[in-house]
Amino acid sequence: MVFSSLLTLVLSPLLYSSVTDQENRASSGGRGLVKRYSSFNLLESDDNDDLVEIARKFLSTACPELLTILDNHYDEDSSRDRLVKIGRNINATLRYSEEDINREENCAAPVTSLEEEKEVVGITTDANLVRLVKECEDLAKLLSSPIKVPTVRYGRTNIQMPIVTLGCMRFQQSWNRGGKPITTPEQLDKECQDNLVRILKHALHCGVNHIETAQGYGCSELQIGLALKVLFEEGVCKRQDLIIQTKGGVSASTSKSDYKSSIIQQIKRLGLDYVDLFSVHGLNTADHYEWLFNHGEKGNLIEALQELREEGKIRHIGFSTHAPAHIIQKAIKSDAFDYLNCE
């Protein structure tokens, strides 16, 4: 088993060994790795430092390209997390192998000979570790030359939209639907906000530059606005590199002036001078259509969007919808929208 021998060479400095390599091989049917591996019991230890060290020793021989990439990656926390998972995979695989052999040794009437069973377990163990090496090689390729997401023209905007985009419905510390709402940066948890920044950086790294949120997504707009400020200050991207979209709903009580003021506040929360895309959030019923186009004394809400477009606060107007087909068709025929999102 060539790979077992390689793994023995890679990991042996880390792991305990009560007898020599030769004695181990002799006592385990030619497989020195079973009794010698796993520096601690995963079920009893949370020592991620040990896992990281196991992974580093493994990668230094099995996939040094990935180790170099992780050591130089912009996100240290992400790199460490990957190393922990690789170490856990190695440790768990070898512990299973050890437990399988122990079970056979203690079995009164094994189905196969002990030596045959050890050989089967060895083949399985090696296959799992070979697969891990392949996964590490694939990850190295992805992190060094990420897959660039293709783009298509979006509606009638002429925007080249990536076919995979970053929807931020879950990008918030709080939905602000009870208790004390989060409305200021001081209320945000640093770990939560840092994680959001890392996600945005990785998305941009892969060519995903469309970021979509909404007024109804709790403190998402606030958090994304703060994250964008970090990206701009660090030189990760420029405003013109991004396609920023937000959404705002309508109601019977909403006036044209209220709607316009609310949208301006949304743009301010995002820390921007304009948004590329603004959607009516959930144009789902005939009433929603009427509030937009025939709202009487309260003023047609679509006019608030059109005025903001003329003022340069909104580049393109659209709508999201769960509506039946005839409502969607009616909204399209109004010629007021540049795009739609069917949800």
Structure tokens at 180: 């004390």
Under the banding of pLDDT at 50, 70 and 90, the label for residue 104 is: low
Residue that is written with structure tokens 């200021």 in the block: 184
How far is C-alpha 336 from the chain's CA centre? 35
> Is residue 145 very low, low, confident or very high in pLDDT (cuts 50, 70, 90)?
confident
248 φ/ψ angles, rounded to the nearest 5 degrees: -145, 135
Question: What does pTM read for this prediction?
Answer: 0.68
Pairing state between β 151-154 and 159-162: antiparallel
Task: Copy the structure tokens of residue 85.
Answer: 């998972």
pLDDT in tens, 232-245: 999 999 999 999 99
Residue-wise pLDDT tens digits, 19-78: 233 334 333 433 443 344 444 555 555 688 888 998 999 999 999 999 999 999 878 888
Closest CA to 142 of 190, 207, 88, 209: 207
Residue 270: which of 298, 304, 245, 238 has the closest Cα?
Answer: 245
Task: State both tokens at 250.
Answer: 């309508």
Buried b (16+ CB within 10 A) or exposed e, 278-297: bbbbbbbeeebbebbeebee
Per-residue pLDDT at 48: 87
